[in-house]
Amino acid sequence: MSDLHVRIDRLAFGGNGVGRIDGKVCFVPLSCPGDDLRVRLTSEKRSYSTARIVEIATPSPQRVVPPCPLFGSCGGCGWQHIAYPLQLEAKRQILAEALWRGARVPGELVAETLPSPLQLGYRSRVQFKLHGGVDGLKIGFYRHGSHFVEDAPQGCPIALPVINAALLRLRDVLTSFREPAAIPQINIDCAERGAVAIVNYIGRDPEQAAAFFAGHAHALTPLTGLYLQTGRKSTLRKVWGDGLLAYSLPAGPGGASSCSLGFRPGGFSQVNAAQNRALLELIRGMAGFHGRERVLDLYCGNGNFSLPLAGEVESITGIEEYEGSIAAALDNCRQNGINNAEFLAADAANGVRRLADDGRRFDAVILDPPRSGAAGTIGGLCRLKPERIVYISCDPGTLARDCGLLATQGYCVLKSVPLDMFPQTYHLESITLLQRGS
């Protein structure tokens, strides 16, 4: 197959550069807007094709040197070769296009992307893949499009330094573990206080594995705890240390005080601490609380967004399916002396339905669903008749779909702000304010 020429015009959600060959859209991984490329097609569909770079004939002036030696093979960060201001603008365009296609939200309602204060060394939770073979133990990340583990001996540039330090200690300890093939994955979570590893074990002797890691606790500083997981989250067991992971967020009008929040291993937390604080301030600004609001926090986790706001509203009701997160939210209420919050362990759709059946009403909803969005909850949610919905999303497509569904129920988008929670990747967080029409 002969090589073809393409000029890259923009970036798509998913990370690929986009150009046209004979009028047909072509997606090219690891390309940059402004690149002139010689490419070879890897697949061709009716409406688009994909291609790989054979030669960068003329590099874009927006190309930069990737900071990671694994860039291009590791499947993690796809935009390290793109200047940061261009990453931010691409994310705004991606969000604006998705909202227009899915909900006919005008582009002028989408703000500029809020940049991350750190473009490297920001990530507080990392999932490392392991492979033990004849050539030794590899700890790193899957190669793009495969389950081949690319070894990352120096750790990951986007991870917090404490995570990379812990990984080096784990790597040393695991050289003497008898079943390296029985550990396919290790998660490391950290916060302002605490750094915990969750070791996924699929071998036949979990007691022996637990004893091994307990016996090496002294060698695993800076970890403050280690857990073993042998299946679903319910199989998590503490091997040693303190499982508490804790951080603080501004509380009260103007952030005059502080709210201390903890979460448990296996529970969800935002991976970029600075941007988590930025999201909280955006929620404050968008919701415009006056002190009398009844607030529903849907997919509430440990109360990350709602508990720092407890002193600014009348009441908070949180719903979360994972019981470990609900337990953390209740602990956080006790820790901070918050007595106007209740938390329910329930599937979001069922929980909202129960509230609506009980005749409950809410003035504002904080909605932070998983990547799949909140389509299944929207019918019940609208029965609660909130005036405002603040929707935090990590997927532009499902956000746009849900905004379209909410529009049929009388809610319109007033503003959407993309926020760079994940620098060096195509992933983006956004926060969107919707208001019920009269």
Pairing of strands 185-190, 195-200: antiparallel
User: Within 13 Å and on the Cβ side, how many CA atoms surround 224?
Assistant: 15
The total number of residues written for the chain in this structure: 438
Q: How far apart are CA 48 and CA 30, in angstroms?
A: 17
Distance of CA 23 to the CA centre of its chain: 35
Q: How many other CB atoms are found less than 10 A from the CB of residue 3?
A: 12
User: Within 13 Å and on the Cβ side, how many CA atoms surround 149?
Assistant: 20
Give the residue numbers annotated as catalytic, written as ranges.
Answer: 394
Q: How far apart are CA 140 and CA 152, in angstroms?
A: 5
Tell which residue, 3, 60, 51, 54, has the closest CA to residue 33.
60
Q: How far apart are CA 414 and CA 299, in angstroms?
A: 22
Tell which residue, 312, 321, 370, 361, has the closest CA to residue 341.
312
Q: How far apart are CA 162 and CA 157, in angstroms?
A: 12
